[in-house]
């Protein structure tokens, strides 16, 4: 991989061929255009047109973003905003693509810098542009200082998703301090009828979808934690109009490709224009640029659809699978994995893991993953992190016997690591106490008894790459679960000058990406999962370098329904790992049947994390059957088009999802019942995304449709008449498959 954040892949995507997205065939001839008379740039992709131009002040201003326009449509040159009153200079109402903080700007700036001579004013104007096969580069410059900003634009031909980023260049003769830097500002058409969708959470409760009417003022989504965070995810979707819903209405959506502290500001200004500005978090931020140096922002991706938030999700899924993921455009379906964590926690050893592996192989597991506890003096979470040598008591002959055993059982082998952390009780920390984030003479706040290694340091980067490379070179490891179990405190970097120290927010993440990239280059077959105490580090930046993510430590199969519902708003089920674990589940002490747990997890990448030593014959039989069924449907579940038929949110008694294969030859439906009441039947399910004229045969995977349901009917029938599911009781689940027969 040559460039960061998947930018190079966006170029590849521009050459994309026609792909049916959600059953509609999209236009292939994506284009980049320049109307020189009006100085308007236009990007077309999928069903979307995006246009911006140079206004009479020389500012770069948004012209249009919405449904695809005809190639014949000529767009008007933009006109800068007007002065509403003397209190608001026109810069506040001009929908600038990338506004410098200066000239009396009060809305969120994209860029704020200060100069050594005390000047803090920056006004960016168009200088030049280059149109390439893969997009547009526009250069802006301050009205007097030699500070330049290159804005990069690309569009994905299949989905119309745009990628924008900025490079800030200091060509003055003195250092400048960048105090705030966004990747882009996205301007939406003027409206006072917008609803913002975003994702919030915490450990064990990630991916909760929030919806709120957008009012004048700003809503800030952010992480100040040094990494993406469980609390907010760098994704947004804005719906217009009160009738906009899952499958209808206009939606503008986007996600930031950055795994460090980030911020997205959604701001309705005083003339009801909506701007979404996102990039590095400006909190505690300062990036000093010496003369000649530059700063590159992450990419902020965004798209538009006229077909509801469901279609917005499907476009994002398609884009991630075809363009972002390391194995794009054809990622391998996720293997069924077994993970030892909930079964054995830190008490791993050769005999115990081999016994679990034997049982896992019997039910059809394809990848056996040993979790925490195999290294250093790791008996609890108090010690050992940082010492990545195999524990000689637990594994007297190293990992080889276990790995050989796993291979002999027909599975590949995966291993848990938490490379960026150290327990103070470790040889590494005793040797290198200066390697952690810290302010000299200040307390070092521990969380889970651990501190954060400062990956921005070259020696720490070399150490982390070195031990991982050695592990992968010396052992036949197919998969790493890469964990990250706390957020930052005292983010000092004493080894560099005080005015360079805040660079840690960027250099840390760049080195993380660099290590992942180099490991993948050197060990191209190794797959990696991004985990951060569950779903604390999921974003389009890390997804360009990892194959799957651990969505939440919460493995309660009922809680998972709303967690997965929220997750799929932003990210593809093709990376969404979900394990079947023990019942009652440790999270809520809830008891559910094994088939309920399987069906909940089968909506993403399936894993098993139960203690198989406690299973009886019937459990093994159920698991074997459902894993075999899953292997038949996983391509569609992971890579197909997802329709959220009934949402589990807001205390719903019901929830259902449907996945349709891209060629519409099959659909998989999962339906869940919390608890039946008052003899009400399960609501009829109206399927979506099928070929209306084709005939489909219905077949049960688990549970059943009512006996009145025809075995074969048209796609139109299943979508219009619908399907009745026979389900009563508490925590019930059913799954069925429709297969095209002609
Ligand atoms: C984190 C992960 C878990 C498990 C533990 C091990 O909490 O999310 O899945 O790996 O660490 O310590």
**110 and 189 in contact (C-beta within 8 Å)?**
no
User: Which residue's alpha carbon is nearest to atom 7 within ligand 1?
Assistant: 533
Residues 6+ positions from 433 with CB-CB distance below 8 Å: none
Peptide bond into 329 cis (omega under 30): yes
**132 and 106 in contact (C-beta within 8 Å)?**
no
Pocket probe mutation, ligand 1, options 205, 384, 553, max atoms within 8 Å of Cβ: 553
Q: Residues 283-292: pLDDT tens digits?
A: 999 999 999 9
Mean pLDDT value of segment 228-251: 94
Q: Are strands 605-608 and 48-54 parallel, antiparallel or unpaired?
A: unpaired
For ligand 1, is residue 553 a contact (CB within 6 Å)? yes
**176 and 289 in contact (C-beta within 8 Å)?**
yes
Alpha carbons within 13 A on the beta-carbon side of 223: 29
- Residue 441's Cβ-count burial label (10 Å; 0-12, 13-18, 19+) is exposed
Please tell me the distance between residue 578's alpha carbon and the centre of ligand 1 in angstroms: 14
Mean pLDDT value of segment 429-448: 98
Q: Residues 278-322: pLDDT tens digits?
A: 999 999 999 999 999 999 999 999 999 999 999 999 999 999 999
Helix (H, G, I), strand (E, B) or coil at 374: coil
Mean pLDDT value of segment 419-447: 98
Helix intervals (H) in 247-348? 308-319, 341-344
Residues 6+ positions from 151 with CB-CB distance below 8 Å: 60, 97, 98, 137, 138, 139, 140, 164, 165, 166, 184
Q: Give yes or no: 483 in active site.
A: yes
Mean pLDDT value of segment 708-723: 98
For ligand 1, is residue 363 a contact (CB within 6 Å)? no
User: Which residue's alpha carbon is nearest to atom 9 within ligand 1?
Assistant: 553
Instruction: Tell me which residue has tokens 């760049």.
Output: 510
Q: Residues 99-115: pLDDT tens digits?
A: 999 999 999 999 999 99
Q: Helix count (H) and strand count (E) of the chain?
A: 13, 40
How far is Cα 599 from Cα 604, in angstroms, rounded to an integer? 10
Residue 129 pLDDT > 70: yes
State residue 15's pLDDT score: 33
Provide the 8-state DSSP code for 134: T
State residue 678's pLDDT score: 94
**666 and 736 in contact (C-beta within 8 Å)?**
no
User: Which residue's alpha carbon is nearest to atom 11 within ligand 1?
Assistant: 533
Peptide bond into 707 cis (omega under 30): no
- Closest ligand 1 atom to Cα of 534: 8
For ligand 1, is residue 342 a contact (CB within 6 Å)? no
User: Which residue's alpha carbon is nearest to atom 1 within ligand 1?
Assistant: 533
Please tell me the distance between residue 613's alpha carbon and the centre of ligand 1 in angstroms: 21
Please tell me the distance between residue 629's alpha carbon and the centre of ligand 1 in angstroms: 28
Helix (H, G, I), strand (E, B) or coil at 357: helix
**52 and 61 in contact (C-beta within 8 Å)?**
yes
Q: Which of 121, 142, 372, 483 is catalytic?
A: 483
User: Which residue's alpha carbon is nearest to atom 8 within ligand 1?
Assistant: 533
Residue 25 pLDDT > 70: no
User: Which residue's alpha carbon is nearest to atom 6 within ligand 1?
Assistant: 372
Residue 471 pLDDT > 80: yes
Please tell me the distance between residue 315's alpha carbon and the centre of ligand 1 in angstroms: 31
* Rounded (5°) CA angle 144-150-154: 155
Find the farthest-apart pair of alpha carbons in the chain and give their distance in angstroms, rounded. Answer: 81
Instruction: Tell me which residue has tokens 């327990």.
Output: 423
**680 and 720 in contact (C-beta within 8 Å)?**
no
Provide the 8-state DSSP code for 248: S
- Residue 407's Cβ-count burial label (10 Å; 0-12, 13-18, 19+) is middle
**384 and 428 in contact (C-beta within 8 Å)?**
no
**358 and 45 in contact (C-beta within 8 Å)?**
no
Please tell me the distance between residue 639's alpha carbon and the centre of ligand 1 in angstroms: 27
Helix (H, G, I), strand (E, B) or coil at 362: helix
Please tell me the distance between residue 669's alpha carbon and the centre of ligand 1 in angstroms: 31
Please tell me the distance between residue 345's alpha carbon and the centre of ligand 1 in angstroms: 9
User: Which residue's alpha carbon is nearest to atom 12 within ligand 1?
Assistant: 372
Instruction: Tell me which residue has tokens 């990992």.
Output: 399
State residue 632's pLDDT score: 98
**How far apart, in Å, are the Cα atoms of 105 and each of 108, 111, 271, 628, 686?**
8, 11, 15, 60, 50
Tokens of 481: 């679960």
Please name every residue paired with 256 in a beta bridge, in sequence order, or none if there are none. Answer: 300
- Closest ligand 1 atom to Cα of 532: 8
Pocket probe mutation, ligand 1, options 205, 227, 372, 537, max atoms within 8 Å of Cβ: 372
Nearest in space to 163 (alpha carbons), one of 540, 562, 678, 697:
540
pLDDT band per the 50, 70, 90 thresholds, residue 426: very high
For ligand 1, is residue 527 a contact (CB within 6 Å)? no
For ligand 1, is residue 108 a contact (CB within 6 Å)? no
Pocket probe mutation, ligand 1, options 485, 552, 577, max atoms within 8 Å of Cβ: 485
Rg (CA), the chain: 26
Residue 17 pLDDT > 60: no
Mean pLDDT value of segment 533-555: 98
Pocket probe mutation, ligand 1, options 483, 530, 577, max atoms within 8 Å of Cβ: 483
Q: Residues 481-507: pLDDT tens digits?
A: 999 999 999 999 999 999 999 999 999
Residues 6+ positions from 601 with CB-CB distance below 8 Å: 557, 560, 578, 579, 580, 607
State residue 731's pLDDT score: 98
Q: Residues 73-99: pLDDT tens digits?
A: 999 999 999 888 899 899 999 999 999
For ligand 1, is residue 126 a contact (CB within 6 Å)? no
Q: Which of 44, 553, 559, 565 is catalytic?
A: 553
Please tell me the distance between residue 483's alpha carbon and the centre of ligand 1 in angstroms: 7
Q: Give yes or no: 553 in active site.
A: yes
State residue 242's pLDDT score: 81
Backbone angles phi, psi at 478, to 5 degrees: -95, -15
Tokens of 629: 């069924």
Please name every residue paired with 527 in a beta bridge, in sequence order, or none if there are none. Answer: 479
State residue 6's pLDDT score: 44
Provide the 8-state DSSP code for 249: B
**361 and 409 in contact (C-beta within 8 Å)?**
yes
Residue 29 pLDDT > 60: no
Provide the 8-state DSSP code for 722: -
Percent of the chain with pLDDT over 70: 96
**366 and 412 in contact (C-beta within 8 Å)?**
yes
Residue 521 parent element (H or E): helix 504-522
First to last CA, the chain: 43
**41 and 129 in contact (C-beta within 8 Å)?**
yes
Backbone angles phi, psi at 168, to 5 degrees: -105, 125
Q: Are strands 641-646 and 605-608 parallel, antiparallel or unpaired?
A: unpaired
**How far apart, in Å, are the Cα atoms of 76 and each of 31, 186, 527?**
18, 19, 48
Q: Is 0.85 topped by the overall pTM? A: yes
């Amino acid at each position: 991989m040559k460039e960061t954040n998947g930018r190079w892949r966006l170029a590849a995507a521009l050459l994309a061929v026609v792909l049916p997205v959600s059953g509609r065939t999209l236009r292939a001839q994506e284009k980049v255009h320049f109307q020189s008379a009006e100085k308007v740039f236009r990007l077309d992709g999928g069903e979307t047109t995006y246009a911006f131009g140079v206004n009479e002040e020389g500012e770069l201003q948004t012209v249009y973003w919405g449904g695809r326009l005809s190639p014949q449509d000529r767009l008007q040159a933009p006109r800068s905003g007007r002065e509403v009153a003397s209190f608001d200079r026109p810069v506040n109402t001009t929908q600038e693509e990338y506004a410098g903080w200066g000239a009396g700007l009060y809305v969120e700036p994209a860029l704020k810098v200060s100069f050594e001579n005390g000047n803090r004013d920056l006004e960016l104007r168009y200088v030049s542009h280059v149109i390439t096969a893969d997009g547009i580069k526009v250069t802006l410059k301050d009205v007097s200082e030699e500070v330049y900003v290159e804005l990069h634009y690309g569009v994905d031909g299949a989905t119309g998703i745009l990628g924008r980023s900025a490079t800030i260049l200091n060509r003055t003769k003195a250092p400048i301090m960048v105090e705030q830097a966004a990747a882009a500002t996205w301007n939406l058409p003027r409206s006072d009828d917008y609803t913002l969708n975003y994702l919030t959470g915490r450990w064990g409760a990630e991916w909760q979808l929030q919806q709120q009417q957008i009012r004048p003022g700003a809503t800030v989504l952010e992480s100040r934690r040094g990494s993406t965070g469980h609390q907010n995810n760098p994704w947004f979707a804005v719906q217009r109009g009160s009738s906009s819903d899952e499958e209808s209405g206009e939606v503008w959506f986007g996600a930031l490709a950055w795994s460090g502290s980030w911020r997205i500001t959604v701001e309705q200004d005083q003339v009801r224009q909506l701007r979404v500005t996102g990039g590095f978090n400006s909190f505690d931020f300062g990036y000093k640029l010496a003369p000649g140096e530059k700063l590159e922002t992450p990419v902020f991706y965004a798209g538009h659809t006229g077909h509801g938030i469901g279609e917005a999700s499907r476009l994002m899924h398609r884009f991630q699978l075809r363009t972002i993921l390391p194995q794009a455009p054809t990622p391998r379906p996720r293997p069924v994995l077994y993970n030892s964590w909930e079964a054995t926690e830190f008490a791993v050893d050769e005999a115990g893991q081999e016994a679990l592996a034997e049982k896992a192989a019997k039910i059809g597991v394809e990848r056996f993953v040993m979790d925490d506890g195999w290294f250093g003096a790791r008996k609890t979470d108090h010690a050992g992190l940082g010492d990545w040598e195999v524990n000689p008591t637990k594994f007297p002959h190293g990992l080889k016997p276990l790995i050989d055993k796993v291979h002999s059982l027909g599975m590949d082998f995966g291993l848990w690591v938490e490379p960026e952390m150290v327990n103070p009780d470790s040889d590494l920390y005793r040797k290198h106490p200066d390697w952690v984030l810290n302010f000299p003479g200040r307390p070092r706040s521990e969380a889970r008894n651990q501190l954060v290694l400062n990956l921005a340091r070259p020696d720490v980067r070399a150490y982390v790459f070195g031990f991982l490379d050695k592990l992968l070179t010396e052992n036949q490891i197919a998969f790493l679960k890469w964990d990250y179990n706390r957020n930052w405190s005292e983010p000092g970097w004493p080894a560099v000058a005080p005015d360079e120290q805040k660079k840690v927010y960027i250099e840390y993440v760049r080195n993380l990406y660099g290590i992942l990239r180099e490991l993948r280059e050197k060990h191209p077959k190794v797959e990696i999962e991004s985990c951060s105490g569950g779903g604390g580090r999921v974003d389009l930046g890390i997804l360009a370098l990892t194959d799957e993510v651990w969505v939440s430590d919460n493995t309660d199969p009922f809680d998972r329904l709303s967690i997965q519902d929220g997750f799929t708003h932003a990210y593809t089920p093709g990376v969404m790992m979900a394990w079947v674990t023990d019942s009652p589940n440790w999270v809520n002490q809830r008891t559910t049947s094994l088939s309920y747990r399987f069906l909940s997890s089968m909506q993403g990448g399936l894993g098993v994390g139960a203690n198989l030593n406690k299973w009886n014959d019937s459990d093994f039989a159920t698991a074997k059957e459902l894993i075999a069924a899953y292997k038949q449907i996983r391509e569609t579940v992971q890579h197909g088009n997802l329709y959220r038929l009934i949402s589990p949110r807001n205390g719903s008694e019901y929830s259902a999802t449907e996945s349709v294969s891209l060629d519409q030859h099959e659909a998989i439906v999962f339906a869940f019942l919390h608890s039946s009441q008052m003899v009400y039947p399960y609501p009829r399910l109206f399927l979506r995304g099928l070929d209306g004229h084709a005939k489909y045969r219905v077949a049960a995977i688990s549970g059943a449709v009512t006996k009145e349901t025809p075995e074969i009917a048209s796609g139109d029938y299943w979508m219009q008449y619908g399907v009745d599911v026979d389900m009563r009781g508490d925590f019930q689940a059913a799954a069925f498959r429709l297969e095209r027969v002609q």
